[in-house]
Amino acid sequence: MFKDHLKKISTTAAAMIIFSLAASTALSVFYFITKSPIDESDARAKRIFLNQVIPADLYDNNLVKDTISVEPSPLLGNKKNIDVYRAKKNNQVIAVIIEAIAPDGYSGEIKTLVGIDQEDKILGVRVITHKETPGLGDYIEIDKSQWIKNFNLKSLDKVSEKQWAVKKDGGDFDYISGATITPRAVIKSTYKCLLYSKENKKRLFTS
Amino acid sequence: MSDIKKIALDGFWKQNPGVVQLLGLCPTLAVTTSMINGLSLGIATAIVMAVSNASVSPIRKFIPTEIRVPVFILIIASLVTIIDFSIHAFIQPLYKALGIFIPLIVTNCIVLARVESFAAKNETTPSFYDGLFMGLGLAMVLTLLGGLREFFGKGTLLSGIDLILGPSASNLVLHFFGDYNGFLLAILPPGAFIGLACLIALKNRIEAR
């Protein structure tokens, strides 16, 4: 009786082990087949974003590889070290791309890439990830609206601190009524990113 | 042949997973903010269902009854992961659009339900068709619901088609109203419940005739 029971348990366990092994093998095979295409397509997606922030004809280095790591700063909102991409022409840093995190979106963080040139002007801003309301707060995405291009060529010199706000708050930036929290967060984080770049200019722009 | 017809009729109408069995509501409600999103996830689910039914059926006699559910889940999870890898590797834009929803197919009970109630008892060919047609039946509901929500919520249909067919397809997007401010309720989760209720009511109405 006990022996029968034991036999049944062992066959069941053996079956489970065999199925698990077969599944793991299939997964490992597929992991190895798809690994390099996945890395390539991730890098491609990132390059497309980076190219939108800084036009590709301005620099001649490999942007994705040419990075420096910066420590957490309240101006950037990062909690870990992050990479700053540096665009170089003839070995001179002509612009940097900094990742800025706005902690105060309507629902959670908004991550953006901000491209800044040597003259502290914004070359471009793009939203990488956000959780804003679809159809309402998502006009910060380039796929949905041109709003994000408002930042192009703005700088701390040309736009005073007060003007870094939506028009409703007396600032320079358009917004869609009913969704003002989202642009406020992005404007604030972009402004702070410019401050950061100015404060750390030597380090960021020296090759 | 008549068997396959019956299976197809069950999947698309009589036992439709979306509006009759009401299984798999998690993706139904979360993803159907646009027609293309609904269609893409629906087709991905249909593929998983067809493949998982077809792979469980031939080995059903080797699976001890006591551990059949863990084995089913193991098989389904592996297949979903493989599909996830493949989409990430070869169709990056679609991956960006569906992203977190693909792994959710594992937790979609309709997949497990069809394996348990059909593939574990039937031959491979009918099992394959059952998975396929049940999945396509769900895809149909997801597409309709997505279309409904997109139409009322944004005043468009087929937006995002360029993510699948390439940028040149973006002129296929239909805009119905010149200056539409959007109807947010339809896009937010409550819109999914209301839309699904309308579809169920519509089906019941047609059947009552």
Query: Which candidate from B62, B75, B92 shows the least CB-CB separation from A15?
Result: B62
pLDDT > 90? residue A21:
yes
Residue B53: partners with Cβ closer than 8 Å, 6 or more residues away: B114, B115, B118, B119, B127, B128, B130, B131, B132
Length reported for chain A: 207
**Mean per-residue pLDDT of chain B:** 84
Q: What is the least distance, in Å, from the CA of B21 to any CA of chain A?
A: 29
Judged by average pLDDT, the poorest of A48-62, A154-168, B91-105, B175-189 is B91-105
**Tokens (6 digits) for A205:** 């722009």
Distance from CA of A167 to the nearest CA of B (A): 20
User: Which tens digit of pLDDT belongs to each residue from B54-101?
Assistant: 999 998 888 888 888 999 999 999 988 988 888 888 877 777 766 666
Residues 6 or more apart whose CB falls under 8 angstroms from that of A106 comprise A132, A133, A137, A179, A181, A182, A185
Which residues in A lie closer than 8 A to residue B81 (C-beta atoms)? 27, 30
Inter-chain residue contact A15 with B78, CB threshold 8 Å: no
Query: In this model, does residue B162 exceed pLDDT 80?
Result: no
Quote the strand ranges of A1-91, DSSP E. 67-70, 82-89
End-to-end CA distance of chain B: 28
Closest-CA residue in chain B for A34?
Answer: B89
**Whole-complex ipTM:** 0.72
- Distance from the B197 Cα atom to the nearest Cα atom in chain A, whole angstroms: 22
Phi/psi for B142 (5° steps) reads -60, -40
Measured distance CA(A118)–CA(A127) in Å, rounded: 22
pLDDT confidence tier of residue B166, bands split at 50, 70 and 90: low
Residue A17 burial (C-beta neighbours within 10 Å; 0-12, 13-18, 19+):
exposed
Question: Searching chain B, which residue's CA lies closest to the CA of residue A43?
Answer: B92
What's the average model confidence in pLDDT over A159-165? 90
Taking contacts as CB-CB distances below 8 angstroms, the residues of chain A near B63 are 15, 19
The reported pLDDT for the residue numbered B137 is 93
Three-class HEC string of B73-124: HHHHHHHHHHHHHHHHHHCHHHHHHHCCHHHHHHHCHHHHHHHHHHHCCCCH
CB contact under 8 A, B78 and A37: no
Which residue in chain B has the smallest CA separation from A40?
B89
Judge whether residue B160 has pLDDT over 80. no
Mean pLDDT value of segment A46-66: 85
Q: A110 — phi, psi (to 5°)?
A: -120, 120
What mean pLDDT do residues A170-187 have?
90
Average pLDDT of chain A is 88
pLDDT at position B97 is 65
Distance from CA of B71 to the nearest CA of A (A): 7
Lowest mean pLDDT among B31-35, B151-155, B161-165: B161-165
Q: Residue A193: which pLDDT band, with cuts at 50, 70 and 90?
A: very high
Contacts of A37 in chain B (CB under 8 A): 89-90
Percent pLDDT > 70 in chain A is 99
CB B153 within 8 A of CB B119: no
Q: What is the mean pLDDT of residues A29-53?
A: 85
Residues of chain A in Cβ contact (below 8 Å) with chain B: 11-12, 15-16, 19-20, 23, 26-27, 30-31, 33-34, 37-38, 41-42, 44-45, 133-136
Per-residue pLDDT, B139: 92
